[in-house]
């Protein structure tokens, strides 16, 4: 991907997110339930964090779905909230950062 422009990379990301089955990587077993949800992707270039959040929020104004990855460490945090804000599920895992570029 060395010769691919940033516009092409972002368009590719957008096309990938249109494929609802790929959302399982972010939302796991909730992917089907949230297949039509809008998301926001944020790139924190200072701290090297990529964050994907639903625009749908719970009763406490928090995204019902969040996925965050530190691209330096490979640490991933997945957060799911109920619409009323009464339940929060957080799952953390670590991946090999070498897999991010291959």
Name the strands in the sheet holding 75-81, side by side, starting at the edge strand that comes first in the sequence. Answer: 39-44, 49-54, 65-70, 75-81, 88-94
pLDDT on residue 2: 65
pTM: 0.79
- Cβ partners under 8 Å of residue 10, min gap 6: none
pLDDT on residue 57: 94
Provide the token pair at 76: 């991933």
* Region of 28 on the Ramachandran plot (φ > 0 left; ψ -120 to 50 alpha; else beta): left
- Three-state DSSP state, 76: strand
The mean pLDDT value of the chain amounts to 86
For residues 37 and 53, the model is more confident at 53
For residues 28 and 85, the model is more confident at 85
């Amino acid at each position: 991907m060395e010769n691919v422009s940033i516009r092409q990379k972002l368009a590719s990301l957008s096309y990938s997110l249109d494929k609802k089955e790929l959302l399982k990587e972010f939302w796991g077993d909730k992917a089907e339930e949230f297949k039509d949800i809008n998301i926001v992707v944020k790139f924190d270039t200072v701290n090297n964090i990529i964050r994907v959040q639903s625009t749908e929020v719970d009763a406490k104004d928090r995204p019902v779905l969040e996925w965050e990855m530190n691209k330096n460490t490979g640490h991933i945090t997945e957060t799911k909230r109920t619409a009323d804000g009464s339940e929060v599920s957080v799952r953390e895992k670590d991946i090999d950062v070498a897999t991010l570029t291959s």
